Structure 1
């Protein structure tokens, strides 16, 4: 019985120590609104017009950052989730005579991780609950022996 209790204690300590090491600590940036990035294809626009358009979009509410790359003809916007891509596209189209489309990037080819990201993200939680389970089993086993003797079961 003593070996089982020591094993439960070791497993509980290992699981809870691993959980403490893997959990994400609080950061003040967690309180900031989520930001989305979208690239728009504005080929055919001059460098001056592109910079002016980027400068104008920086003033819009909800836009956190913009940049224009004249070599690729991309206008990239960083914005809060209060805005939608369609609303941004309509506002951009109203500010220029050049046709603007959302840039769709290709999915990268090659091998992918075989472990789903949801499982990786949930792993610290699994460690926490396993640690609590082992700790509860240890506490239960510690109180089980005196109860058995008291009730004359053993």
Structure 2
């Protein structure tokens, strides 16, 4: 049986890196709720995120907010009773509203990521992950973006 199996909730802050050279980085936040299975590696996670306002070289800001649903493949630690560290891979979908200056564009697509969780107590863990969002629609055309985030995760 897995030490941290069952429902969890997490929240943290992240830095968004935009692939466009004239768009700066931004700091945002995310909150999530998920399920880590007792037996077997595949869980489920739903999240809400806001990337913050990234400055655009020509003036203005680019901001994104929306939701994601992902399958999470948990890679267990060697000691299933303590599981000081666990890794995971995520694959899912996103649905975002992109505020590109004064205009709003809706965008949907694939999300993928990799992360680690470090237990600080039987129920609390620190997590860090990197997520990629492919071809987010903006007024300037499709864009890929990467979000690095870290925060706390509580296992019920």
Q: TM-score, normalised by structure 1?
A: 0.22
Larger radius of gyration: 1
| Structure with more helix by fraction | 1
Q: TM-score, normalised by structure 2?
A: 0.21
